[in-house]
Each structure stands twice: as C-alpha cells, then as structure tokens.
Structure 1
Amino acid sequence: MNHDEAVAYCLAKPGAVPDQPWENDLVAKVGGKIFAFLGGEGIGLKCGSDLDESGELRLAYPDAVTIMAYIGRHGWNSIALDGTVPDDELRELIDGSYAAIVAKLPKRLRPTG
C-alpha cells in the first residue's frame, strides 16, 4: 500500500474527513478526532490502548514500525509504507485505529454508515 492508497482507504471510512491542523500534515478525522496521521511517507495509527499493547506490532516489524513521538505512550505507532507491513494487515490496522476512536466518541458524533 502506498501513501495515496492509505489516504484513500482512510477517507473512505464512514464520517472520515481530511484535515491539516499543522502545516503540510494531513490527518484523517472522525467526529472531530484524529484516527490517522497521514503526513510524510508513513502513517500514524492507534495500535493499542497503551505503549505495551502497541509494542507487539513494533516487535513484529522492528524496521518499519516505531513509537510515535509525543503520543506513543497512548498506543500510537508510526508505520512505514514501504511494503514491510502487508497491505491486508495495514488495512486491519487502519480499521482498528478508526474503530478505537469511534468507540470513544459520544453517540451523537458516531457515524451511522
């Protein structure tokens, strides 16, 4: 999966919208909350509830997955879109990040699609 494909997959999610809260840094949001950081050549996703849970992915792909700066302790990883992580697993990770954020939204902000 390349960067453009990852962006398209994220933005195809129900209620997903693009945003640029920082200069040249694209993110995908749902209900006003970020579920994917799409700047650069990688993607930042919520991969667990905390640093330990998100560590499983870093152990599986040590050359492609790193702790995200500032928010890594909350389960966020940076994932290189270089072919190391298989496309089907990337889609599952995007789905999981999206679902984790939607689950924490107030019911009135959750997408219905």
Structure 2
Amino acid sequence: MTHPLIMHRPGFEAFILSLPRATLVRQWRDDSVGKIGGKVFALLDRDPGDIWLKVSDMAYELLTELDGIRPAPYFARAGWVAISAESPLSEDEIKAYLVEAHRLVTLRLTRKARAELGL
C-alpha cells in the first residue's frame, strides 16, 4: 500500500492551511501541528509519520477497531486517534476526518473566539 500524500509533511501542511483560519506550527519533536484559534486539531507525527486528529465519540469507537488506527498517545482521553499509513483509510477519507477535526475543535472555541476568527 502506498503512503498517502497527506501523510507526508508537504501534503499535510498544504491541506491544513487550506482549511478556514487554520494555522500551522512546528512544535514538540518538529511535528507539523494544525491549530484553529490556538487550539490543536491535528498533527503529523514525524516519527513514524502518523496523523493524529480529534474525532467524534462514535468515530473514535469505530476507527480504533481498524488495523493501523489506535488511540493517540497522550490525546486519547480527549477523543483523538493516530492514523498510520497501514490503515485502510483512503487519502480522501483522511482529509474528511481532518475537516471534521477542524470543525469539532472550532465548535469548542468560545463564541467570542469564533467571532474574532470570522467563523
């Protein structure tokens, strides 16, 4: 199975920055971290190259049953999964989960923060 382009830094960062008002920083171990209103919604773990993201409670239950997807270390209690290249998800499916992660975290921002971001 080929490594989806979204799971490489250039593809991941370009997609994150295409989302409304999303920002990107490199932090921790030089991971690419997508944020909205200062809150993390997704990251590309450079080693081993997994995408970590926030998902709904239902998606968390379903996704963690699949090969190549596990609870994200340190973030699992907040409903995050780590998706490896070995997962059965297509690039389009991963992108859809990234869009949803952006939406879920945006909804958790204060009304004032959303207004300031124009969201």
- Structure 1: runs of 5+ lacking an equivalent: none
Corresponding letter in the other structure for 2:39: K
- Tell me the SS of whatever aligns to 2:83: strand
- The residue number in structure 2 matching 1:77 is 81
- What secondary structure, in the 3-state scheme, does the structure 2 residue paired with 1:81 have? coil
The number of aligned residues is 109
Match of 2:99 in 1: 95
Q: TM-score, normalised by structure 2?
A: 0.79
TM-score normalised according to structure 1 size: 0.83
Say whether the 8 Å CA contact 1:28–1:36 is kept in structure 2: yes
In 2, Cα distance between equivalents of 1:46 and 1:29: 11
RMSD: 1.9
Q: Deviations over 1:30-78 (max 9, x none)?
A: 10000111221121001124xx75121121x22x211111120221000
Give how far 1:84 is off. 2.9
- Could you say which structure has the greater relative contact order, defined with CA pairs below 8 angstroms and 6 or more residues apart? 1
